[in-house]
A = this chain, B = another copy of it.
Amino acid sequence: MSEFEFLDRMTEPNTTKIVMLILDGLGGLPRTPDGLTELESAKRPNMDALAKRSSLGLTIPVAPGITPGSGPGHLGIFGYDPIVHEIGRGALEALGIDFDLRPDDIAARGNFCTMNPDGTISDRRAGRLPTPIAMKVARILNSITVEGAQIFVEPVKEHRFALILRGDGLGSNVTETDPLKTGVAPLQSAGKDLPSEKTAAIVNEFVKKAHAALEEESPANGILLRGFDKLPVLPKYQDIFKLNPAAIAINGMYKGVARLAGMQILPVIGTSIADEFTSLEHYWNDYDFFYIHIKQTDTAGEDGDFDRKVRVIEEVDALLPRILALNPDVLIISGDHSSPAVLKFHSWHPVPTLLYSAYARPDGINEFGERACQHGSLGILLAKNVMPIALANAHRIAKYGA
């Protein structure tokens, strides 16, 4: 049976509302073996009070031992199998800079590079080009036209940019121009099927014109392209879950991944966590599923700033009554992965997860933390299994069989 065939058949509409509050990189590690994690260290009276009335567990975002990027981590907690639905690097790069990537667009990751007079590469990153210069060079490339596609060159950071091709009948199955080493010339792109041959021809023509246009721009006198792909097509929340979903996020990548699931991206006036909660209140009557993304926990974790991650969690805890005042039928608090401050990086550790509803079986646990959740009745489960449990608690899954 295909991934959602059974669930699609079992879900049914209702008027109940589900809120999924994702603290990015929520899971952590103690600073010493006998210490507390970031979440365990935080003062979280509201989360703890909610834990008493909730089912708890630890979620595995992708598979045991796998450290997910933000894309796969979100797909998991959204209910998808992140191994089945892979989001390519090019598409993620475009989503990450808030580019409005459309379903048929071809996206690639680009580097500005330095070329020798003989056409070989001398530096794959153009000396880590300063971002302002990259923006200027990108403007030059954006003036290039090639027949068959509209071309967008979007600077990302330093030498990195995103290339997007928009046109009819373009395939994404093309080879990369980046040889991944210096001393050789960039590669010609080749298509592995007919629509992709069309893409490869456009790519090669664009690279040729780009190198001509950048002749005087050393160290950024060349470009390298890799990770060509389209957005994956995901089964939509409207279909598989019978939900009318919305997303509240500040950063582009999260909006992009939410859009893949069929979520409407809601405006947020401002960039604070409180601003996101204001958006939730404003649109409360218009949707029945709300994903709220809190970026700051992950940023603190990646910065290795244990105390700041604790403070972000405390800030969310203090704001939690504003969500509870809306009386959601189901409230999930979780993360897309762990980002322990001691590792300064995403990690494979399972993520503390809380599922509140009037019908959740309380676990007899009075706090929300990694080690509390490990004893919870949700168990240690794949993240993709959380949504069906949330739907059940929202009375949105029919009885199976008689």
Interface residues of A (CB under 8 A from B): 1, 6, 10, 29-30, 33-34, 37, 52-53, 58, 62-72, 82-83, 86-87, 89, 92-93, 96, 343, 345-350, 359, 361-364, 370-371, 374-381, 385, 387-392, 397-402
- Point out the residues of chain B lying under 8 angstroms from A66, CB to CB: 10, 388, 392, 397, 400
Q: CA separation between A67 and B346, bound complex, in Å?
A: 35
Task: Give 6 closest A-B pairs by Cβ, nearest first.
Answer: A65-B388, A379-B380, A69-B401, A65-B392, A348-B392, A64-B385
14 pairs, A vs B, C-beta closer than 8 Å: A37-B361, A65-B387, A67-B398, A68-B401, A69-B401, A69-B402, A70-B402, A82-B401, A92-B402, A93-B402, A350-B377, A363-B371, A363-B374, A375-B375
The answer to whether B377 touches A30, judged by C-beta atoms less than 8 angstroms apart, is: no
Nearest-CB residue, chain B, relative to A397: B65
Number of copies: 2
Nearest-CB residue, chain B, relative to A227: B402
The answer to whether B401 touches A87, judged by C-beta atoms less than 8 angstroms apart, is: yes
With A363-B371, A371-B377 already in contact, 13 other A-B pairs whose C-beta atoms are closer than 8 Å = A6-B63, A58-B379, A65-B385, A65-B387, A65-B397, A68-B399, A69-B401, A72-B400, A72-B401, A92-B402, A93-B402, A348-B389, A379-B379
Q: CA separation between A86 and B71, bound complex, in Å?
A: 35
Q: CA separation between A362 and B40, bound complex, in Å?
A: 13
The answer to whether A53 touches B65, judged by C-beta atoms less than 8 angstroms apart, is: no
User: Contacts A385-B65, A392-B67, A392-B348 known; A30 to B362 CB distance under 8 Å?
Assistant: yes
Interface centre among A370, A389, A397 (most CB of B within 10 A): A389
User: Contacts A363-B371, A375-B374, A389-B64 known; A89 to B53 CB distance under 8 Å?
Assistant: no
- Point out the residues of chain B lying under 8 angstroms from A347, CB to CB: 359, 392
Q: CA separation between A376 and B107, bound complex, in Å?
A: 43
Interface centre among A1, A34, A37 (most CB of B within 10 A): A34
- Point out the residues of chain B lying under 8 angstroms from A391, CB to CB: 65
Nearest-CB residue, chain B, relative to A385: B64
- Point out the residues of chain B lying under 8 angstroms from A53, CB to CB: 33
Interface centre among A71, A72, A364, A381 (most CB of B within 10 A): A364
Q: Output the least CB separation between A69 and chain B (Å).
A: 4
Q: Output the least CB separation between A335 and chain B (Å).
A: 14
Nearest-CB residue, chain B, relative to A394: B65
Nearest-CB residue, chain B, relative to A75: B401
Q: CA separation between A390 and B348, bound complex, in Å?
A: 11
- Point out the residues of chain B lying under 8 angstroms from A401, CB to CB: 68-72, 82, 86-87, 89, 92
Nearest-CB residue, chain B, relative to A36: B364
The answer to whether B402 touches A67, judged by C-beta atoms less than 8 angstroms apart, is: no
Q: Output the least CB separation between A266 and chain B (Å).
A: 24
- Point out the residues of chain B lying under 8 angstroms from A398, CB to CB: 67
Q: Output the least CB separation between A79 and chain B (Å).
A: 10
Q: Output the least CB separation between A339 and chain B (Å).
A: 11
Q: Output the least CB separation between A166 and chain B (Å).
A: 22
- Point out the residues of chain B lying under 8 angstroms from A65, CB to CB: 385, 387-392, 397
Q: CA separation between A380 and B57, bound complex, in Å?
A: 11
The answer to whether A400 touches B343, judged by C-beta atoms less than 8 angstroms apart, is: no
The answer to whether B89 touches A402, judged by C-beta atoms less than 8 angstroms apart, is: yes
Q: CA separation between A266 and B95, bound complex, in Å?
A: 51
- The listed residue (B6, B83, B349) touching A6 by CB distance below 8 A is B83
- Point out the residues of chain B lying under 8 angstroms from A63, CB to CB: 6, 385, 388
Q: CA separation between A370 and B392, bound complex, in Å?
A: 19
